[in-house]
C-alpha cells in the first residue's frame, strides 16, 4: 500500500512541477511501469535530443530503488548498449547510495546531470570512457551523431 500511495504522490508532483527538461508518466494501466523523457541539456552533445527511459518500480519501493534504463540509444561512458545506467543512487548500499528518501524525480535529475557530466572513472563502456578521457573531440562528435540519429525529433 505504501508503494502505491507514494507513487501516486510522486507522479502527481512530476505532472504539476516537473524538473526542467524531464517528464514522467504511468505506462498503461500498470502502476509499477513508468515512462520518462529527458531532454538533452544545452551545451552538451545531447542537446536537442529527446531520450526515452523505462522505469520499473519494485514491490519493495521505496526501500529498493527503481530499475531505470534508456530506451533511446545514447553514446555515453556510463550507459551501455542495453540502456543500463551506472549511477550510485540506482543501487542499494553498500555499493550504492540509494535511500528511501530519494524520489523518482531526484533519480531522473541525477541521470540528467550524469548525461551532462559523465563519470569516466566508473564506466560501463570502457572504450567510450577512454575516448572521453583521451580524445574528447571525437567523443563529442560521436555523441552528437548518435543524438541526431537516435534522439532527434
Active site residues: 86
Backbone angles phi, psi at 67, to 5 degrees: -90, 120
Task: Tell whether omega for the bond before 94 is within 30 degrees of 0, i.e. cis.
Answer: yes
Report d(CA 78, CA 3) in Å as an integer.
29
**Whether 77 contacts 140, CB under 8 Å:** no
Report d(CA 67, CA 96) in Å as an integer.
13
**Whether 57 contacts 83, CB under 8 Å:** no
In eight-state DSSP terms, residue 5 is H
Residues composing the chain: 153
Amino acid at each position: 500500500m505504501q508503494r502505491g500511495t507514494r507513487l501516486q504522490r510522486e507522479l502527481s508532483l512530476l505532472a504539476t512541477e516537473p524538473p526542467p527538461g524531464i517528464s514522467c508518466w504511468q505506462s498503461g494501466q500498470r502502476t509499477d511501469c513508468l515512462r520518462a523523457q529527458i531532454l538533452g541539456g544545452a551545451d552538451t552533445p545531447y542537446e536537442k535530443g529527446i531520450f526515452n527511459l523505462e522505469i520499473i518500480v519494485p514491490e519493495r519501493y521505496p526501500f529498493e530503488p527503481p530499475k531505470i534504463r534508456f530506451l533511446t540509444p545514447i553514446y555515453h561512458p556510463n550507459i551501455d548498449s542495453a540502456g543500463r545506467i551506472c549511477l550510485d543512487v540506482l543501487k542499494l548500499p553498500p555499493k550504492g547510495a540509494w535511500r528511501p528518501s530519494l524520489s523518482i524525480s531526484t533519480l531522473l535529475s541525477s541521470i540528467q546531470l550524469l548525461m551532462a557530466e559523465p563519470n569516466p572513472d566508473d564506466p560501463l563502456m570502457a572504450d567510450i570512457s577512454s575516448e572521453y578521457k583521451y580524445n574528447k573531440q571525437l567523443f563529442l562528435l560521436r555523441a552528437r551523431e548518435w543524438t541526431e540519429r537516435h534522439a532527434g525529433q
